[in-house]
């Protein structure tokens, strides 16, 4: 079997997906190994919580194995897998915010507690990217860090190339606004 870091040819990937759909354990194992590093980076970029990356990746791959027989178009496997990952991350973030309400009851004494100081920003660009919506942040990172084409991004985000171009344009414009606003302070 090839190294887990290499990307398979589109036809080879479709064959793996077809084998995985039929329950072939070796094909499923290879698909997981093939995507585990990219998935970990993606989950980390979405949640910014290194402590939960393994658990969330495991949840993504469990959902992949369970849902793979229902995937109709094996050519859309990668975009389908990353959509699962986005949903898992989104659910995790919602749950994390919801649980805080149960563990910390709010009282008037909390009003007098000072907010913790924000850590010094080492890189204004990272701070600006962090202010983007999770969807725009993920799209921008996939385009810049993983060198995804507009067409690949459209497949991953289940949209059109022109919609991806528009979203990237707006994300860059918003990022520019964050950076310029930081300079005027």
> What does the angle CA 47 – CA 50 – CA 54 come to, to the nearest 5 degrees?
95
Q: What's the pLDDT tens digit per position in 120-143?
A: 545 677 777 788 888 888 888 888
Are residues 98 and 153 located together in one domain of the fold? no
Q: Is residue 116 part of a domain?
A: no
Residues 6+ apart with CB under 8 A from 109: none
Are residues 89 and 174 located together in one domain of the fold? no
What's the total number of domains in the chain? 2
Are residues 88 and 129 located together in one domain of the fold? no
Q: What is the pLDDT of residue 7?
A: 56
Are residues 63 and 147 located together in one domain of the fold? no
Are residues 40 and 129 located together in one domain of the fold? no
Integer Cα distance of 131 and 175 in angstroms = 8
Q: What is the pLDDT of residue 3?
A: 46
**Residue 158 φ/ψ region, left for φ over 0, alpha for ψ in the -120 to 50 degree band, beta for the rest:** left
Q: Is residue 32 part of a domain?
A: yes
Q: What's the pLDDT tens digit per position in 147-180?
A: 888 888 888 888 899 998 999 889 888 888 877 7
Q: What is the pLDDT of residue 138?
A: 85
**Residue 113 φ/ψ region, left for φ over 0, alpha for ψ in the -120 to 50 degree band, beta for the rest:** beta
**Domain that includes residue 143, residue range:** 123-185
- Label residue 4 by pLDDT band (50, 70, 90): very low
Integer Cα distance of 28 and 124 in angstroms = 41
In percent, how much of the chain has pLDDT > 70?
77
Q: Is residue 4 part of a domain?
A: yes
Q: Is residue 108 part of a domain?
A: no
CATH code for the domain in which residue 10 is found: 1.10.1740.10
Residues 6+ apart with CB under 8 A from 44: 50, 53
Phi, psi torsion values for 128, nearest 5 degrees: -65, -40
The DSSP secondary structure of 2-19, one letter per residue, reads --TTSPPPHHHHHHHHHH
Q: Is residue 146 part of a domain?
A: yes
- Label residue 183 by pLDDT band (50, 70, 90): low
Mean predicted confidence (pLDDT) in 20-35:
93
Residue 107 DSSP class: -
Are residues 164 and 91 located together in one domain of the fold? no
Mean predicted confidence (pLDDT) in 44-58:
91
Are residues 168 and 98 located together in one domain of the fold? no
Q: What's the pLDDT tens digit per position in 72-95?
A: 888 899 999 999 999 999 988 888
Integer Cα distance of 131 and 125 in angstroms = 10
Half-sphere exposure of 114 (CA within 13 A, CB side): 3
Are residues 22 and 77 located together in one domain of the fold? yes
> Comparing 125 with 12, which gets the higher pLDDT?
12
Q: What is the pLDDT of residue 89?
A: 92
2-16, 95-109, 116-130, range with the lowest pLDDT: 95-109
Q: Can you read off the two tokens belonging to residue 94? A: 């919602």
Q: Can you read off the two tokens belonging to residue 46? A: 């979405």
Q: Which of 69, 103, 137 is the last residue of a domain?
A: 103
Q: Is residue 13 part of a domain?
A: yes
CATH code for the domain in which residue 136 is found: 1.10.10.10
């Amino acid at each position: 079997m090839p190294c887990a870091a290499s990307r398979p040819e589109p036809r080879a990937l479709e064959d793996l997906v077809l084998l995985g759909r039929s329950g072939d354990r070796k094909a499923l194992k290879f698909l997981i190994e093939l995507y585990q590093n990219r998935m970990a980076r993606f989950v980390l970029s979405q949640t910014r919580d290194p402590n939960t990356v393994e658990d969330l990746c495991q949840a993504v791959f469990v959902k992949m194995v369970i849902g793979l027989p229902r995937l109709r178009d094996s050519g859309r496997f990668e975009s389908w897998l990353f959509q699962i990952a986005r949903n898992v991350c989104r659910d995790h973030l919602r749950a994390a915010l919801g649980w805080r309400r149960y563990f910390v009851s709010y009282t008037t004494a909390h009003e007098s507690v000072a907010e913790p100081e924000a850590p010094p920003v080492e890189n204004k660009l990272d701070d600006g990217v962090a202010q983007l919506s999770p969807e725009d942040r993920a799209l921008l990172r996939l385009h810049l860090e993983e060198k995804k084409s507009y067409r690949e991004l459209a497949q991953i985000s289940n949209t059109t190339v022109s919609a991806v171009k528009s979203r990237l344009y707006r994300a860059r414009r918003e990022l520019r606004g964050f950076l310029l606003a930081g300079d005027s302070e």
